[in-house]
Amino acid sequence: MASAGPGLRVSMAAEGSGAGDILVVLFARGGTDGLQLVAPANDSVYQDARPTIAVQTGGTNAGLPLANGIGGVDFFFNQDATELNDLYTSGNLALIHAAGVPTENRSHFKSMDMMERGLADDETSLTSGWLTRHVKTLTAERPWLSTVSTASNNPISLLGYPQAVSIPDVQSFNVSGGDVNANVIAALNASGGSAYQQAALQTLDAIDTVQTKLQELDDAEGDDSDSEAGPAYTNGPLSGALRNLATLIKMDVGLDVATVDQGGWDHHNNLLNEFSNNATELSQSLGAFWEDMVDYQDRISLVFMTEFGRRLGENSSAGTDHGSGSVMMVLSGNANGGQMYGEWPGLEGVNLNNGDLAVTTDYRQVISEVLAKRHCSPSLDTVFPTVAYNPLGLVNGDDSALTGAAVANAGTTSTS
């Protein structure tokens, strides 16, 4: 990671070829309560376990009924997930319940670390992130700005990939001090004799590319933004990150992998109010992003994931504590959406994992299908060495690029 002045840390690779869809990984940090976001609201065990916070089938706190449940159980989106419900109904959003990390630990940091490295319990530690391993299987060279984090730092999933660029705000992606400092840096590194000097010059080129593309985008859009309401982004941080990502995508700089974070899901207390805020931000932000990406929807595959779910029973503070299984989502113009996937384990005591919703779908199974069918993965054995390829049918696409052991488990290739 090279430094091109205060406030900017970036290292760029030489220009090369992209791959497949634009893959977006949205990590909900804090442990999203999947039983509150997508609730089995007419299950009496669920209602008894959550006497004051449960999503209801009618009246106060009534959920939004979903077609096509799993395991003979009816599910309801949280009442604050209106836009998610619309995306599901339109067929662009697929849901996977009882998904997550196969682990007995309930630590935020350990679970996030495991998930971003591509691990489960009793597996040998990996020194890189799963996204890094995936990107490295695609090509030795990738376009500048092909891999971007919208947070201020790159996530563990990109550990070991110094070419990943952190761009929390594309509008201010520049050297601190602007052109004056940029000219000084260019002069000091003009010879390009060392790896550091080459990285510095490439960084300046990347900044120049972004600034030029940004101006071209502004010129193309003209005054349309003044006369039209546009996508209904909120003023919240997730909307800010997704709006930033949408701008980068529309700039056509070669981006094909992006990570986005949403924090604040650790609802031990006063869950109804706090969860409502986060669910509203998630739903409205994704709805706005999808509208913003109307010309790119067939090229986007967004995976929503969280480090763990919450316990079945509410606690004495009207919240829920750290649990196990939760909900994953895949938003794509190529999704087999309007469907729920996975195996519902049930909420009776014998089916729980130490009081938690059991994990019946390994998170890596979901990601693997998206990588194979939508992002041209040639080697899932490299990305997730311990998990066989076993697609659920979440998305359409061509997984024929797979090689090695994963090929034996393909057999479900479809093309859109």
Instruction: List, for residues 25-72, the tens digit of each pLDDT value.
Output: 999 999 999 999 999 999 999 999 999 999 999 999 999 999 999 999
Question: DSSP 3-state assignment of 5?
Answer: coil
**What mean pLDDT do residues 340-350 have?**
97
* pLDDT per position as a tens digit, 281-300: 999 999 999 999 999 999 99
Cβ burial 141-173 (10 Å sphere, 16+ → b, else e): ebbbbbbbbbbeebbbbbbbbbbbbbbbebeeb
User: Between 3.40.50, 3.40.720, 3.30.70, 1.10.155, what CATH number should domain 22-171+255-409 receive?
Assistant: 3.40.720
CA 406 to chain centre: 24
Q: Greatest CA span in the chain, whole angstroms?
A: 72
pLDDT confidence bin for 20, thresholds 50/70/90: low
Please give the Cα distance from 145 to 257 (Å, whole number). Answer: 9
Percent of the chain with pLDDT over 70: 87
Please give the Cα distance from 21 to 376 (Å, whole number). Answer: 8
Q: Rounded to the nearest 10 degrees, what angle do helices 237-250 and 271-292 cross at?
A: 10
Output the average pLDDT for the chain.
Answer: 88
Q: State the sign of the Cα–Cα–Cα–Cα dihedral 144, 147, 152, 157.
A: negative
pLDDT at 202 over 80: no
Percent of the chain with pLDDT over 90: 72
pLDDT confidence bin for 223, thresholds 50/70/90: low
Q: Give the CA distances from residue 283 to residues 85, 168, 328, 353, in Å, rounded to whole numbers and listed in that order.
A: 9, 21, 14, 29
Q: What's residue 187's pLDDT?
A: 82
Give the start-to-end residue ranges of the domains of the chain.
Answer: 22-171+255-409
> Pick the residue with more confidence: 174 or 271?
271
Those residues with Cβ within 8 angstroms of residue 8's Cβ, 6 or more apart along the chain or in another chain: 173, 174, 175, 176, 203, 207
Other beta carbons within 10 Å of 250:
17
* pLDDT per position as a tens digit, 94-152: 999 999 999 999 999 999 999 999 999 999 999 999 999 999 998 767 887 899 999 99
- Hunting for tokens 């490439």 — which residue is that? 202
Radius of gyration for the chain, computed over Cα atoms and rounded to the nearest angstrom: 22
Q: Are 328 and 49 within 8 A, CB to CB?
A: no
Q: What's residue 16's pLDDT?
A: 31
Please give the Cα distance from 134 to 390 (Å, whole number). Answer: 17
